[in-house]
C-alpha cells in the first residue's frame, strides 16, 4: 500500500492518545493508545525516527518518520518547554499559524505555540520510573 501522510490532523489526533516515556535525552518509548504496542522513537532537531511499520519503511536518504509516534514524542519534548505542537501537511496551512515551523519529513510540518497556562508539569508520576523535574528553584 502506497501511503503518504496527508491527514496531518488525523495523525495529530492519534498522537494525543499515545503514552510517551522518556528513556534518554533523545530516546522515547511511545505506546500506542490504539494498539498498546510500544515503539522506540529517536528525536533529532528536525524530527525523528521510529520503529513502527511506517517508520521502518522510510527511505535510506531520509529516515525521518512523521508518524503519530514521532509527533507524540515531539509534543512531549515541546511540553517540557511549555509548548504544544500542531501538525500540518500543507506549508501554506503551517505558515498561516505565524508560529515557528519545523518540517519533520514525510511532508509534515510542525508548528509550536506556547500553552496558555503552564501550571508546572502535568506529567503523571510513572510507577517504577524516576520522575525528573528539571525546574530549578
Ligand atoms: Zn511510528
Mind listing the pLDDT tens digit for each residue in 32-63?
999 999 999 999 999 999 999 999 999 999 99
pLDDT of res. 2: 40
Q: How many Å apart are CA 96 and CA 137, to the nearest integer?
A: 37
Nearby residues of 55 by Cβ (< 8 Å), 6 or more positions away: 39, 49, 65, 67, 69, 70
- Cα 137 to ligand 1 centre (Å): 36
Which one, of 79, 87, 78, lies nearest residue 10 by Cα?
A: 87
pLDDT band at 1 (very low <50, low <70, confident <90, very high): very low
pLDDT band at 7 (very low <50, low <70, confident <90, very high): confident
- Cα 42 to ligand 1 centre (Å): 10
Q: In what order do the strands lie in the sheet with 47-50?
A: 19-24, 27-31, 38-44, 47-50
- Which helix (H) or strand (E) segment holds residue 30: the answer is strand 27-31
| Distance (Å) of CA 77 to CA 27, 92, 93, 121 | 11, 25, 23, 12
- Cα 87 to ligand 1 centre (Å): 15
Whether 69 and 32 have beta carbons less than 8 Å apart is answered as yes
pLDDT higher than threshold 70 for residue 129: no
Q: Cell 500553552 appears where?
A: 115
Which one, of 45, 44, 40, lies nearest residue 55 by Cα?
A: 40
- Cα 60 to ligand 1 centre (Å): 16
- Cα 30 to ligand 1 centre (Å): 8
Domain boundaries, the chain: 8-114
- Cα 57 to ligand 1 centre (Å): 10
- Cα 75 to ligand 1 centre (Å): 14
Amino acid at each position: 500500500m502506497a501511503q503518504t501522510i496527508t491527514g496531518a490532523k488525523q495523525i495529530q489526533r492519534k498522537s494525543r492518545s499515545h503514552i510517551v516515556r522518556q528513556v534518554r535525552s533523545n530516546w522515547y518509548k511511545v505506546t500506542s493508545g490504539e494498539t498498546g504496542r510500544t515503539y522506540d522513537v529517536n528525536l533529532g532537531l528536525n524530527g525523528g525516527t521510529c520503529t513502527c511499520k511506517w517508520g521502518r519503511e522510510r527511505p535510506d536518504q531520509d529516515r525521518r518518520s512523521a508518524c503519530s509516534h514521532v509527533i507524540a514524542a515531539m509534543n512531549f519534548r515541546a511540553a517540557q518547554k511549555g509548548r504544544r505542537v500542531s501538525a500540518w501537511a500543507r506549508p501554506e496551512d503551517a505558515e498561516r499559524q505565524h508560529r515557528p515551523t519545523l518540517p519533520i519529513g514525510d511532508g509534515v510540518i510542525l508548528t509550536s505555540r506556547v500553552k496558555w497556562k503552564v501550571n508546572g508539569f502535568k506529567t503523571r508520576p510513572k510507577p517504577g520510573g524516576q520522575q525528573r523535574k528539571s525546574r530549578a528553584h
